[in-house]
Amino acid sequence: MAEKFTREFLIVTVIVSLIVGGSAGVLGGLFLTPAIKSLPLAGKFFSDYERAMIENKTVVSVEEESATISAVAKVSPSVVSIIVSKELTEGLIDPFNPFGPQLNPESGESQRVGGGTGFIVSADGLILTNKHVVSDEAAEYSVVMADGREFEAKILARDFNNDLAIIKIEAVDLPVVNLGDSDALELGQTVIAIGYTLGEYQNTVTKGIISGIDRRVVAGSNFQADIIDEALQTDAAINPGNSGGPLINLSGEVVGINTAVNREGESIGFAIPINVAKQVVNSVKEFGEIVRPWLGVRYQNVTSELAKANEISVDYGALIVAGRTDADLAVAPGSPADKAGLEANDIILEINGVKLDKVTLATEIQKYGVDDEIELKVWHDGEVKVVKVKLEKRES
């Protein structure tokens, strides 16, 4: 009897090690479980173990599913579809049906040429979306609410720093989203994207996780490109038409604005953190426009590779450089940077003690207001100096 018990115990120990260690894989699960359950001791052990695991997994799954449903129900009434229309002078490929016939320019009427998503941030009709959704100055824009009501929309402000815009409809007592805290997001956290997918499926819901934080990506098309600093990466499906829609957490708070997708991979989408957009929303509410502080330099982020290639003694900061054309000056004439004596090839190392190694110059500047005085630590001709600069309002 003792010998039999010992043998069975050893078999269970080996098989448990395989399963817990993960080396058995799917086939191990299929083929090993029946053999285990045929043993008296192992059968009892795995029956209890498997039951506990299944019950725990079921509870977690039900709780998350319930939270997802609740979050979507909470936010969906505030999500709108944005319709882009214009009178065409020449044939245009339908952006949502590129393999279909060209849109007809001969009708003499405005035709739908695109679409996107937005969400309501004030009860009197302010809607946040992406700038690229409403970038066409010659187009007309309308908004379709989740309940089917349709309104003409006016472009109130386009952000020259980020792919953000505010549009306005004439309505009152509208449902407003709750803006969350994107700085509190963690890798692996569940998020939900809602949007006007393919310009056809209103308020489509997709679900995933936060796959990356603080990405720096260039998002754009043949017509324009924007650099997104501190972008959120997600595997929640983001498709054409989703642009400008909310990325929400399980509490039903907006934590990002769905903006771009990397088509070279699978399930790689990017969103602008909502904390970046809060300043835009607050500025429009207070001033009726986006008011941004301005330094007035063109720059490139310094990396260890750049520093080595150019024999620079510092490997971080913002290198002040000119652009590709004569008009792209390193320092804008009359700008705060010009008044403070900053020059091309200077490297801004710190702003008010914050080292520009993990944050960019543009991101850090936006934390301040117009007329704020900031202190810069600058590398100039091999020496470090401190410069004080008074920020001014940037004119679009």
Beta carbons within 10 angstroms of residue 384's beta carbon:
12
Q: How far apart are CA 100 and CA 95, in angstroms?
A: 10
Q: What is the largest CA-CA distance in the chain?
A: 95
The answer to whether 198 and 241 have CB atoms below 8 angstroms apart is yes
Q: How far apart are CA 307 and CA 315, in angstroms?
A: 5
The answer to whether 331 and 338 have CB atoms below 8 angstroms apart is yes
In whole angstroms, how far apart are CA 328 and each of 250, 296, 331, 333? 45, 11, 9, 11
Tokens coding 68: 């997802």
The answer to whether 287 and 227 have CB atoms below 8 angstroms apart is no
Q: How far apart are CA 353 and CA 364, in angstroms?
A: 11
The yes-or-no answer on residue 380 being catalytic is no
The one catalytic residue among 159, 163, 229, 235: 163
The one catalytic residue among 81, 211, 243, 335: 243
The yes-or-no answer on residue 132 being catalytic is yes
Q: How far apart are CA 332 and CA 343, in angstroms?
A: 10
Closest CA to 197 of 120, 115, 119: 115
Single-letter amino acid, residue 313: S
Tokens coding 279: 């300043």
The answer to whether 228 and 216 have CB atoms below 8 angstroms apart is yes
Reduced to 3 states (helix: H, G, I; strand: E, B; else coil), residue 294 is strand
The answer to whether 175 and 165 have CB atoms below 8 angstroms apart is no
The yes-or-no answer on residue 122 being catalytic is no
Q: How far apart are CA 197 and CA 218, in angstroms?
A: 22
Q: How far apart are CA 360 and CA 295, in angstroms?
A: 13
Which DSSP string corresponds to 188-241?
A: T-EEEEEEEETTTEEEEEEEEEEEEEEEEEEEE-SS-EEEEEEEEEE-S---TT
The one catalytic residue among 132, 159, 226, 335: 132
Compute the radius of gyration of the chain from its Cα atoms. 27
Matching residue, tokens 């060209």? 102
Catalytic residues: 132, 163, 243
